[in-house]
Homo-oligomer: A and B are copies of this chain.
Amino acid sequence: MKAFGKCRWAIAEGYIPEGSHGPAPEMTSHETACILNAGDKDAHVNITIFFSDKDAIGPYEITVPARRTKHLRFNDLNNPQPIPRATDFSSLIESDVPVVVQHTRLDSRQDANALLSTIAYSGE
C-alpha cells in the first residue's frame, strides 16, 4: 500500500496532567500522539519537545513499523529525559516516510475523566 500522510507534524498543545482517578494504566492521565504508518516501509520518527521558558529537548527516537500504528504516550518518553509533568509544551514530529498524527489527552485529575483530540498540524 502506498504511504499516506506527511513527514512533518506539530502539536502546539502539550501538557501531562499530574494526578489521576481510576485504575492504571487505562485511566491514568496521559498525553498521546497516535501515529499511523499505512505504508510498506518502517517509519523512523524524531520528536522534539518545546517549552515556554527553556531550550527544546530531543530528539526522542521511535520506530513505527510498516502498516502499524503507535499510540505513543508522552508519559513514557524517557530518553534523553522524561518530560516534566504539569508543564506546558509543544511537540514537533518528523518522520522519514509519510505518516498521520493525531493528538489525544485523557485527563482524570477530577472524578470523571475528560478527553480531547485533534488531528495534528501537517502543513507544507
Contacts and interface: CB of A to CB of B under 8 A. Distances in A.
Interface of A: 4-6, 8, 10-15, 21-22, 26-27, 32, 34-36, 38, 48, 50-53, 55-56, 67-71, 86, 88-90, 92, 100-123
Given A69-B89, A89-B69, A112-B114, A121 B102 contact: yes
A50 B27 contact: no
Given A104-B116, A114-B114, A117-B118, 13 more contacts: A10-B36, A10-B100, A27-B110, A36-B92, A38-B90, A50-B67, A55-B67, A107-B115, A111-B112, A112-B113, A116-B117, A118-B118, A119-B119
Nearest to A2: B8
A27 B15 CA distance: 13
